[in-house]
Amino acid sequence: MRQSRRHTASRIEFGSSVIVPFPVPGSDVGLVTALRAGHGDAVGVLCERHSGYLLRVAASILGPDESTTAVVAEALQRSLETLGQLEDPRVLRVWLVSRLAAVARQRLKARRRWRWFGLRWRSGTSCNGWSWSEQLLASYRVLERLNDDQRIVFCLAVVHSMGLADVATALGLSLFQVRSLLDRASESFSRHSQCEPSISVQKLRSA
């Protein structure tokens, strides 16, 4: 019986010396098991399955930033190095976001040392394959005024529309802390948006 050679490793059939290829399981639980077992194609499957999602999350936090792809790559590398810390493989995607948020936070701190960043972007700018409208650029000019904790919570919950429970899990915070940060972030965003008439929280959600 033929079996797919894509994403395969090997196992020895019980009572036989015949080596039979088997695919990386389709579930995240199976993927984590394959990663921990050293499955030859598991890392590739991890990237194929989750890198696109992580790129969208990173873009929602960082805005137009040429390093977005590098941030995701570093987050995936950290995830592989600390895989033993993942207690529940069923929440793999949220756990990956936790690693991504940590790397994105470092990027935000490094970027603040370059005060000119963001001021050079203009509407229609293409970055990592995305075109940024003036409305979105104005939104990220406002987000630059928030502290990192508020910004990350706001971007995950409002821009990326992640559930608050998942945001809390990803950031290692209580639900109360997430709601408090989100309330303060939304208030600050609304206040600073007064100098950017093209944007609002509702427009940012639908952009």
| The pLDDT of residue 15 is above 80 | no
Task: Say if residue 73's pLDDT is above 80.
Answer: yes
What mean pLDDT is predicted for residues 49-72?
94
- Buried b / exposed e across 152-170, counting CB within 10 Å, b at 16+? bbbbbbbbbebeeebbbbb
DSSP annotation of 84: G
**DSSP states of 31-43:** HHHHHHTT-TTHH
What is d(CA 46, CA 193) in angstroms, rounded to the nearest whole number? 38
Domains in the chain with CATH codes: 1-118 (1.10.1740.10), 133-207 (1.10.10.10)
Question: Which candidate, 163, 132, 166, places its Cα nearest to that of 63?
Answer: 132
Residue 48, pLDDT score: 93
Average pLDDT in the 136-144 region? 88
Instruction: Name the more confident of 33 and 22.
Output: 33
pTM (two decimals): 0.78
- % of residues, the chain, pLDDT over 70: 76
- Average pLDDT for residues 141-160, to the nearest whole number? 95
The yes-or-no verdict on residue 24 having pLDDT over 50 is yes
pLDDT the model gives residue 9: 42
Q: State the pLDDT confidence band at 129, using cuts at 50, 70 and 90.
A: low
- The H-or-E segment that residue 96 falls in is helix 92-112
Q: State the pLDDT at residue 113.
A: 75
